[in-house]
Structure 1
């Protein structure tokens, strides 16, 4: 009989949780005798919780201050958030357990760690529980429940914070950040390294995460007015932003600008770009690193993204430019001396990237399955 893995993810709170789930499924689905069931944790809480999950996009696009207040409150009152989520999902989650009968539960969203562990304890379920942290350095205590059998951490920084929150060090596994395999095409984006005509336009990619957040219009105008460049802009799910950008940019720059909505081919856009401009979304940052596309980080969502720009600078994965007024100088510095700084960033990215992160995570899961088998014998 196949072993069963239940993954608790999220479809609407950005795209990172879903991308991580997809990266894992790529490897897990080729394993024999393994069945995978994925559920959006917010869907377990009925209409109200589903609406809360879907509100992430509008809130982060239009009111970062409100989002910071929500994040800070959840960090200060994790037990309250866990109790609230548990109250909303308990009935449906118990039904799900009885239907799926998972051998392991893996969560990739902070709201479904303590809440689910509370339910497992209350109902006497003895199911191995693993948390996979989907952030880099600014870790909410909702990620760090000491009762989890394992906490899979993407960075040393995240591990240290989890220890501060009381997670036993032996229960934390550092693996790196999981990225879908298609972002590792040939392990290297050749732009600005080989076959690049110095006189050709700079290929720029502007992104704001799955929700299309950020000051894309001002960034695009600064680049178009000051550099010989082609720009591809990904507005994500933000239909209003896409329409606004089309109205403001296409009239004067139609031959130099391409504006897209949400796309599943983001890796191809990265491969064809010399520089990616994005806010400090961990998923987008690590996908850019995997595709070997230098980053200009233009901001960060308050809360879980606050530490990401500094993390990128620490490892020379990109540069930070939060003020569009300073963007011209930032790009000039990247391009001077035959783009030497860009080349150094690309070199650092190749040293940092690890296409085997997902394999390591899968091996951890398979080890837990094997240990469960041995205990059952």
Structure 2
């Protein structure tokens, strides 16, 4: 009989979803006798809740990011919402109970705190011995992750582990395996072939520009800055994710410019990271972990307050990233880095030191060894 692993996330195409998928793929590749089952936790609550929360979150971080900054891991907000969270978990419990009884999983992973809270409540009421593993996808853990019912925490770094311990989590429960990313990032790809496939030159620097799956941040302004500065040749690869409107605008803006390539949502981001000399991005946990796995120096723009701000601080402290305030400063920094490559090489070495390309495989190996 196959062992089963339920892997909870929220929101399709989010970082939590990609982390969950990475765990599922790693379990599949590690042992064919394991059946990973991906579960969108929003499907087991009010059908409108997930859509509403996602829309509100995106609206806030785009238009009023200071609101999210004030809400994120705010102790007062945490206490004031305690009863509401308990009511939501109580409302969701019958569906969660039926799901778990249907599959009888050997283990449950949660890549986001909301389902972790639901499963913790389920354990408290019905099945205390089922292993619950919280998989953190950012470097600074918030209070909504903390439950006595969590069996283990998989965390990105020693700094994350120390923060969890400060919040009262036993160090015996914590494993520093990194943020789970696709096992494809653990492979060295044929750079020459990729350059040829994308019709790119190895004679000029390649810069990868991203804004997460939603294409957030100053991507359009950055592209315009590169177009306006024609003194040096940089090959700019722009990924807009699922942001179709941004994709369409950029196609018009960059029309006829052979040094700028516009991509929408792509499944082979590891190929672009393999050939890039540097990445410009927000500081989301998944994207930056993928970049570190590819030993890619990071320039951070427009980090979301809260989790991404704290990720940015960690990456800067470790020397793998530089943060810039706008596209003009960005362009100056890029010129400096490519004019004197010593700092760029140092950032690359620090990225290599921090990178954990085998993170998902470590999680799979740990499961087969028994939690």
TM-score scaled to structure 1, two decimals? 0.86
Give the C-alpha shift of residue 280 in structure 1. Answer: 0.7
CA RMSD of aligned residues (A): 2.6
User: Which of 118, 129, 133 does residue 130 from structure 1 map onto?
Assistant: 133
Alignment of 1:289-328 (within 5 A): 289-328=292-331
Question: Unaligned 5+ residue runs, structure 2?
Answer: 193-199
1:279 aligns with 282
Conservation of the 8 A alpha-carbon contact between 1:61 and 1:211: no
Which stretch of structure 1 is more off in the superposition, 279-288 or 123-132? 123-132
Conservation of the 8 A alpha-carbon contact between 2:21 and 2:38: no
User: Which of 334, 338, 343 does residue 335 from structure 1 map onto?
Assistant: 338
1:157 aligns with 159
2:145 aligns with 143
Give the C-alpha shift of residue 108 in structure 1. Answer: 0.8
Secondary structure in 2 aligned to 1:268? Answer: helix
1:217 aligns with 220
2:32 and 2:184 mapped to 1: Cα distance? 22
Deviations 1:181-223 (A, max 9, x none): 2223328979xxxxxx999332221100111111112222223
2:181 aligns with 179
1:186 and 1:41 mapped to 2: Cα distance? 34
Q: Structure 1 283/229 Cα, relative in aligned 2: closer, same or farther at 3 Å?
A: same
2:197 aligns with none
Deviations 1:245-298 (A, max 9, x none): 334x225x5323222221112111222222211011111111111122221111
Q: Structure 1 189/84 Cα, relative in aligned 2: closer, same or farther at 3 Å?
A: farther
Question: Unaligned 5+ residue runs, structure 1?
Answer: 191-196, 370-377
List, as ranges, runs of 4+ consecutive aligned residues in structure 1 with deviation greater than 6 Å. Answer: 187-190
Secondary structure in 1 aligned to 2:85? Answer: helix
Alignment of 1:50-65 (within 5 A): 50-55=50-55, 56-65=57-66
Deviations 1:309-331 (A, max 9, x none): 22112222222112323123211
Give the C-alpha shift of residue 39 in structure 1. Answer: 0.3
How many positions carry a matched residue from both structures? 358
TM-score scaled to structure 2, two decimals? 0.87
2:349 aligns with 347
Alignment of 1:29-40 (within 5 A): 29-30=28-29, 31-40=31-40
1:246 and 1:198 mapped to 2: Cα distance? 21
Deviations 1:8-31 (A, max 9, x none): 11233x621122122212221131
Secondary structure in 1 aligned to 2:168? Answer: coil
Alignment of 1:38-77 (within 5 A): 38-55=38-55, 56-72=57-73, 76-77=78-79
Q: Structure 1 144/346 Cα, relative in aligned 2: closer, same or farther at 3 Å?
A: same
Structure 2 residue 240 is matched with structure 1 residue 238:
no
2:62 and 2:87 mapped to 1: Cα distance? 25
